[in-house]
Structure 1
Amino acid sequence: MNPIEISFEFFPPKTPEGVEKLRVTRAQLAQLLPSFVSVTFGAGGSTQQGTLDTVLDMSKDGLQAAPHLSCIGSSKESLRAILARYREHGIRHIVALRGDLPSGMGEVGELRYASELVSFIRAEHGDWFWIEVAAYPEYHPQARSPRQDLENFARKVKAGANSAITQYFYNADAYFRFVDDARKLGVDVPIVPGIMPITNYSQLMRFSEMCGAEVPRWIARRLESFGDDREAIRAFGLDVVTQLCQRLVKEGVPGLHFYTLNAAMATKAICERLGYGRGS
């Protein structure tokens, strides 16, 4: 029996080699019995077909796959068509996001916020879809204030979301404070922590800069000190993220959602340290 539910995020591969790599990765991670897997959706819907293909491929293997769906840059008509295709294929789990405009694209689309997308899905399909939304324990980088960001999150949930997955973080206190503040606003859905394994210092810092996730100074300095020693980075990252997960599990989080970057090794190692995959 697994300690708590786990889930994994993948992105649609763009090359035959990427397709094969993802098949190997998901076969390894499927052994850990995830409750579901999610598949990302490119800016402005740029990977729409790839997301659908990947979701259907995973569903054939018995995985419950949840496609990401973003509304920025999309018309209601195009969203309606995508949702109809998912429903037609029996997909019942959606990750509803505002998303980003592709560079050079000026049209925001008919729906500007994730809360509007959630409302749209509910109006079109009732309770057919289980809807996940995003949460930002350290606040969305484009939010005008922490309070505004929290209110935006509450609005998404009240529009009809079933649960939420957070941006990754390395400060557990930020997550627990966010959950407490959300509960005070009447948010009662599960808020699942997003977990990013650490395997590459420069990549981690680049991602974190883009999405507003804070890498604590002590972690950044240690990673920087390892230079090109990938094994030292991997070992240190494994310890740091495992300890974070252990605290989260101990304090009663509803699940853990791993951002795998289509690689199995680091996520699998963390999960095995937590007790997954061994007689589960």
Structure 2
Amino acid sequence: MTLPTKLADYFKGGRCAMSFELFPPKTDEGMALLEKNVERLQAFHPNFFTCTYGAGGSTQSRTLDVVEKVKAITGLPVASHLTCVGSTVDQLRDYLKEAKRRGADHIVALRGDPPKGSETFQAVEGGLRYANELVELIRADFGQHFGIAVAGYPEVHQEAPDPQTDLDNLKRKVDAGADVVVTQLFYENSDFYRFRDDCVKAGINVPIVPGILPVTNYKQACRIAAMCKARIPDEMAAAMNESDDADFQFNVGVDHARRQTIDLIENDVPGIHYYVLNKSSAAAQMLDGLSLGADA
């Protein structure tokens, strides 16, 4: 099988592409568990995996360990996240060189969140302020070697003063050379469809890929929604609050994500990116019997 040379190629050809996002475990035991879950997730024929890293740029080396490990296990392309947080331009270049050396295929280019306790992002001296500058750096130094994904926000980035400003920022990232937009998680598909339409009107002509998190309990849903400013539908909240039973809440959350997935496929999304939190049970139950990802 010949792998695509560009990230956007995964989202062509009529079949809904699929990717899974991982994070670097803190322990050797966590890495062993991650390997088992990756093997299970591979059975659903994803097109690629991505791996994030800790706040403030921590665990960067561990991220590249995961990149190498997942490539060895699956033979699939893997993307490394990269943020501007806490790094000079020279440090960003060094990371990209090491990512290339260790086999990363793509980069998820992000500005990154403000440090804990701060509401605003401050670039370090000699660093970058915006994700579009990071995309420009990658393209200037590495040409088309890396595919580049950037983030979009169906419910508007929490720091943006209004939706139009948020769209303008996204267009700058795409114009700088991004191949695809992967969205922040959301629970209402109508928010994604409105965002997709707004992107088209704004002249953003790369694939817009929805990001889905199958939540497995109500406390988790509330915590993540608060962090991401994602709205929890009343119907979902009411259903999860019917019982404190862990299995009940797991099934409600997974069923909601499955219904989101089916509706997205029916509305011709080019792919779906799943935030699986290094686990496979929820994804396996959600995806059972559905037709996504690379051809088996």
Bin of the TM-score, shorter chain as denominator length: over 0.9
Mapped partners of 1:207, 1:144: distance in 2? 22
Q: In the alignment, is residue 260 of structure 1 matched against residue 272 of structure 2?
A: no
Q: In the alignment, is residue 191 of structure 1 matched against residue 203 of structure 2?
A: no
Counterpart mapping for 1:221-240 below 5 A: 221-227=238-244, 229-240=245-256
Q: Give 1:60 shift.
A: 1.5
Q: Which secondary structure does the structure 1 equivalent of 2:134 belong to? A: helix
Mapped partners of 2:139, 2:292: distance in 1? 35
Q: In the alignment, is residue 82 of structure 1 matched against residue 82 of structure 2?
A: no
Distance 1:3 1:162, change over 3 A: closer
Counterpart of 1:127 in structure 2 is 144
Counterpart of 1:12 in structure 2 is 24
Distance 1:265 1:120, change over 3 A: same
- Consecutive unaligned residues in structure 2, runs of 5 or more: 1-13
Is residue 49–residue 77 contact of structure 2 (8 Å, CA) maintained in 1? yes
Q: Give 1:68 shift.
A: 0.3
Distance 1:107 1:149, change over 3 A: closer
Counterpart of 2:76 in structure 1 is 63
Q: Give 1:3 shift.
A: 4.8
Counterpart of 1:108 in structure 2 is 123
Report the identity percentage: 43
Q: Give 1:185 shift.
A: 1.2
Counterpart of 2:11 in structure 1 is none
Counterpart of 2:258 in structure 1 is 242
Q: In the alignment, is residue 168 of structure 1 matched against residue 185 of structure 2?
A: yes
Mapped partners of 1:197, 1:57: distance in 2? 24
Mapped partners of 2:203, 2:291: distance in 1? 33
**TM-score under structure 2 length normalisation:** 0.89
- Computed over aligned residues only, the root mean square deviation of the Cα atoms, in angstroms, reads 1.9
Q: Which secondary structure does the structure 2 equivalent of 1:83 belong to? A: helix
Is residue 67–residue 103 contact of structure 2 (8 Å, CA) maintained in 1? no
Is residue 185–residue 213 contact of structure 2 (8 Å, CA) maintained in 1? yes
Q: 1:38 aligns with which of 50, 54, 71?
A: 50
What is the CA deviation profile of residues 90-131 of structure 1, one whole-angstrom value per residue up to 9, with x for unaligned ones? 322110011124437996221011111101111111111100
Q: Which secondary structure does the structure 1 equivalent of 2:170 belong to? A: helix
Mapped partners of 1:240, 1:60: distance in 2? 33
Give the paired residue count.
278
Q: Give 1:276 shift.
A: 5.5
Counterpart of 1:21 in structure 2 is 33
- Consecutive unaligned residues in structure 1, runs of 5 or more: none
Q: In the alignment, is residue 97 of structure 1 matched against residue 114 of structure 2?
A: no
What is the CA deviation profile of residues 185-225 of structure 1, one whole-angstrom value per residue up to 9, with x for unaligned ones? 11110011101102121011101101111111221122122
Mapped partners of 1:141, 1:273: distance in 2? 36
Q: Give 1:237 shift.
A: 1.7
Q: Which amino acid aligns with 2:208?
A: I
Mapped partners of 2:93, 2:272: distance in 1? 30
Distance 1:3 1:189, change over 3 A: closer
Q: Which secondary structure does the structure 2 equivalent of 1:246 belong to? A: helix
Mapped partners of 1:104, 1:216: distance in 2? 28
Q: Which amino acid aligns with 1:103?
A: K
Q: Which amino acid aligns with 1:219?
A: M
Q: Give 1:252 shift.
A: 0.3
Mapped partners of 1:122, 1:115: distance in 2? 11
Q: Give 1:63 shift.
A: 2.5
Is residue 101–residue 108 contact of structure 1 (8 Å, CA) maintained in 2? no
Mapped partners of 2:114, 2:183: distance in 1? 21
